[in-house]
Structure formats: structure tokens, C-alpha cells
Amino acid sequence: MIVLARDEAERIDRCLQAILGQSHAPDRVVVVDHGSRDSTPQRVQAWRDKSILLVAVDTRSGIAAARNAGVAAAEADVVFFTDADCAPHPGWLAEGLAALGDRSLAGVEGVTYYEAPTPPTISDSNTHQFNAGGYMTCNIAYRKAVLVAAGGFDPRFRNGHEDRELAFRVRRLGEIAFSPAMVVAHQRKRHTAHGLLRLARRAQDLVLFFKLHGRQPPCRGRVLYPGRLLTLCFPPLILLKESIRSGRDLGIAAVFYLYVVLERFYIWKAALQQRIFII
């Protein structure tokens, strides 16, 4: 089992508690610390559990390389992926292994829901997946032999979308099933200004994804994120489209517009670099 962590000191304990409390105990839990600046590594080491292996990776290597470091340290025939801000349900591992009892399958993904005491607002990092085809590495498992045959995560994906890109290559080798019984809770996570603006870089990797695998949602025609392009042109749309219920939400709304501007810059920059026409 591989857990990617970066600055998750507030959530890593619950994640590890959920993993070690699985009805089917994992053989090894590889925690890849991707350059945390908080006490995440110390929180992991405090568990003193022999099944936990902490692997440190520099942030400059990129997110795909970090996941590959985890795969290299994994020894089991089936590799499960989740993130430090998640908490798998007790039967997650068992349900995934049951699905992969079908030897024709290359992998299996499950249901991820966002855990919050109140309805999410613009301040929430609302990560969820209820249907097949997301291929998010917070809730997916692959046969290790398939990961090796597919070439692992593409290290050119430094900021995101490496999980979906890998899945598209894996699907050439075998089917990735969807198990609604394989459930992961994504712990509540609130945006910060710095964190939200950093996410804008993911758009560069999405342009590369489209070059490799063709244009798909969220690309409509030649326009990537058309709704955000409208927001770029007409900022008040943020107030109409997003849930804003507090002063903090208003502050994040202002940062969100800067995010939209920065994201579009990265899209156009990557489009020029990749020599692909996307607006």
C-alpha cells in the first residue's frame, strides 16, 4: 500500500489508523513524504509500526516520480494507492483484493467521498468520485506487474493528472474495474491562498495529457475549462457559481480569481511548449 504525503501532519494519523485497522491487514505501508515542511515525517515515525516504511522524496522530483518511488519500495503483487488526507473504510483493502480475484483485471478503483460536517463551500478542497473513470490515486489498486509493464507513472507529470495518464496506458493491458464497495473518505481540507495558487500548475500537465491521449473533458473543443475562461472574462460569475457563506469564503473567492488567471497562463504556456492549440 502506498500513501503519498506532503504537509499532512493534521491528517496523516487518521489515515494510518484507518489503514492499519483494515479487516485485511496490509503487508507493508509505504509512506512517500514529498518534501513536507511540517511535522508529517515525524508523525509517521511516531507510529513505530514495523509494517510502515517512510520514503523521503524531494519536491523537485515531481508528483509522478514520488509515486514511482513508492512503487519501487512496494513488494506485494497488488499495489493499493491512497493519500495522506484520506481515510479508507475498514473493508477497503479486502474489497479491492476480492475484485482483483478476477485475474483478467489490471486494476480496480472505488468510491471516494468528501467528508465535511457542513455542505462544502469555495473554501473546501472538495475531492470526490462516485462513478468509474476517475482513476484517482487516492482510491485505486493495480497489479504490480501491470504497473511495471506500463512503465509506471510518467515523470513529466510533475504537478498532477499523473494518475489518470497512467490509467490510460494501463487500460491497453487490461481492464480497470470499478467497485462501489471500495470506499475512501477524503478528509476535510480547506484551501489556503498559497495552496490554491500552487494547484494552478496542474493545468500544464493536463495540456500534456491531452497531447498524449487526445482532448477529453474538461476540454470542450479547443477550450480547456470553458467555465473558468468565462469567469476570467467576467469575475462576478464566481459569486454566482460558487458557494460562499462566510468572510473566509469571500477571501478565498478573491484568491480563486487569481487562480483562474494563473491557471490560464499555465495552459497557454504549456500549449506553446507542447505545440498544441488549446485556448
DSSP for 133-197 reads T---TTSEEEEHHHHHHHTSS-TT--SS-HHHHHHHHHTTTSEEEEEEEEEEEE---B--HHHHH
Tell me the per-residue pLDDT of 11-68, one tens digit each, with 9 for 90 and over.
999 999 999 999 999 999 999 999 999 999 999 999 999 999 999 998 888 999 999 9
Q: Hey, which residues does 219 pair with through a beta bridge?
A: 224
Residue 215: per-residue pLDDT? 81
8 A C-beta contact, residue 211 and residue 183: no
Above 80 in pLDDT, residue 114? yes
Instruction: Count CB neighbours of 276 within 10 A.
Output: 14
Whole-angstrom Cα distance, residue 9 to residue 44? 9
Residue 216: per-residue pLDDT? 80
Residues near 150 by beta carbon (within 8 Å), at least 6 away in sequence:
166, 169, 170, 172, 173
8 A C-beta contact, residue 114 and residue 87: no
Q: What is the DSSP letter of 61?
A: G
Residue 219: per-residue pLDDT? 84
Residue 218: per-residue pLDDT? 86
8 A C-beta contact, residue 267 and residue 278: yes
Instruction: Count CB neighbours of 250 within 10 A.
Output: 14
**ω into residue 218 within 30 of 0, thus cis?**
yes
Above 90 in pLDDT, residue 136? yes
Residue percentage of the chain with pLDDT more than 90: 94
**Overall average pLDDT of the 210-227 stretch:** 89
Instruction: Count CB neighbours of 130 within 10 A.
Output: 9
Whole-angstrom Cα distance, residue 20 to residue 9? 17
Tell me the per-residue pLDDT of 188-210, one tens digit each, with 9 for 90 and over.
999 999 999 999 999 999 999 99
Whole-angstrom Cα distance, residue 12 to residue 85? 6
Residue percentage of the chain with pLDDT more than 70: 100
Least confident of 28-42, 81-95, 138-152, 206-220: 206-220
**Overall average pLDDT of the 107-116 stretch:** 97
Domains and CATH numbers, the chain: 2-186 (3.90.550.10), 193-274 (no CATH)
**Overall average pLDDT of the 86-115 stretch:** 97
Residue 217: per-residue pLDDT? 77
**Overall average pLDDT of the 68-81 stretch:** 96
Above 80 in pLDDT, residue 155? yes
**Overall average pLDDT of the 172-186 stretch:** 97
**Whose grid coordinates read 498559497?**
194
Residue 59: per-residue pLDDT? 83
Q: CA Rg, the chain, in Å?
A: 19
Residue 233: per-residue pLDDT? 95
Q: What are phi and psi of 97, to 5 degrees?
A: -65, -35
